[in-house]
Amino acid sequence: MLTVAALAQEENISPYSIFGIGEMQLGESGRTTGMASTAIGLSGGRFLNTANPAALAALDTTTFIFDVTGSAKGSAFSSGSVTQKAFSANFTRITAGTHLTPRWSAALSVQPYSTVSYKVENEDYIEGSETKTTTLFEGSGGVTRLSFLNSIRLTEKFSAGADFMLLFGDINREASQSGITIKRNSSATTASFTLGMMYKDTLLEKMIFSAGVTYSYKARLLFENSLKVTDASGNALFNDDIASSEVVLPESWGAGISLTGRKIVIAADYRYQQWSRTRDPLTNLRFTDTHKFNCGIAFIPSGFAPKNYFEMIEYQAGFTVSNSYLILYGVNPLNMELTAGVGLPFRGGGQINIGLGWGKKGTTNEGLVREDYLRITISLSMFERMFMKRLYD
């Protein structure tokens, strides 16, 4: 699982990941990717929800569930009159969970928390002269989230949960100019947690209303840094540890609601994270608070006794909008994405979910970079019956 998480750090290519700990990754659920990953207010017997740990209380009591998700993305980056294209693909999430007692459910998950992946070339004049020089900036790595999720069913309508997280990772940044290369490696490990509550009740006949809330505690990433400087021949001019640096991952709050019927699911989420109290230790750049809104819908033509396979397929659509935690040249970039997807059930159990997303990140205002992308996400859910009593010896 940790190997897959390390590989997954290269899934997201973005010039904005040059700042802070990189591009934040909050699309927890491959199962609802077609619904814009809306999940805080959703739960189900075969839905491993890592967005709200309290939702795990609804898991089937006799089923072990294993999810694996991968994603591929084609991007076009625009700035002024220049456009460049990029493609990336990798695994992004692995989760396994089940009921441990009639009231206690648990799951283990590993996925990216942030990704650093950029390659930027900058040409500028040498100070005091009319000669231009080129500087190449490269970065890779990020922060991985390893989660141990627990949920307790308090009553028939209420459940509570906690996600105990280990955040760890390595970030590598490199700058090359006039034959001199400066490589900086930063590594950190810390712990944090997320708390969740879920309310679930039947409003109308076969129509279920759910509401969920989450709170994530802040975490302090203390990076141990090393610096290596080499010349054009590869000779080390400097190679030693340097002063440590700290990045505070701020508190965040989330809320979600959903309506679930025999054939249809409608859901919406809102997230808020207080990034305005955090600075980038390398650039001393101040961040801004983020707001994210997701909404999605899913439709199954036949809830019971389908006449053909197409009536068993779950059709999904969704929309998400958020702002970046960066303010550059007075501009706070906006991110938007439209999604669509299908859930294809297997006859012997399990389901494969395919989601498509078209969106944009950033802006070309003030000479910044805008990313237009098309993403495909594939999630495989496998179910295994457990704790079943034998009918025959």
- Could you tell me if residue 391 is inside a domain? no
Residues of the domain holding 252? 2-385
When divided into structural domains, the chain yields a total of 1
- Could you tell me if residue 148 is inside a domain? yes
* Structure-token pair, residue 201: 């009740």
4: pLDDT strictly greater than 50: no
b/e code 241-263 from CB counts within 10 Å (16+ = b) = eeeeeebebbebebbbbbbbeee
349: pLDDT strictly greater than 80: no
- Could you tell me if residue 17 is inside a domain? yes
85: pLDDT strictly greater than 70: yes
**Which of 18-27, 235-244, 377-386 is predicted least confidently?**
18-27
387: pLDDT strictly greater than 60: no
- Could you tell me if residue 40 is inside a domain? yes
- Could you tell me if residue 390 is inside a domain? no
Nearest one of 327, 289, 250, 252 to 19, comparing CA atoms: 327
- Could you tell me if residue 186 is inside a domain? yes
1: pLDDT strictly greater than 60: no
pLDDT score recorded for residue 234: 82
How far the first Cα of the chain sits from its last, in Å, is 37
- Could you tell me if residue 82 is inside a domain? yes
User: What pTM value is reported for the model?
Assistant: 0.86
The more confident residue out of 392 and 377 is 377
pLDDT score recorded for residue 390: 52
- Could you tell me if residue 393 is inside a domain? no
Residue 17's pLDDT band, with cuts at 50, 70 and 90, is confident
Mean pLDDT value across the chain: 86
CATH code, domain carrying 81:
2.40.160.60
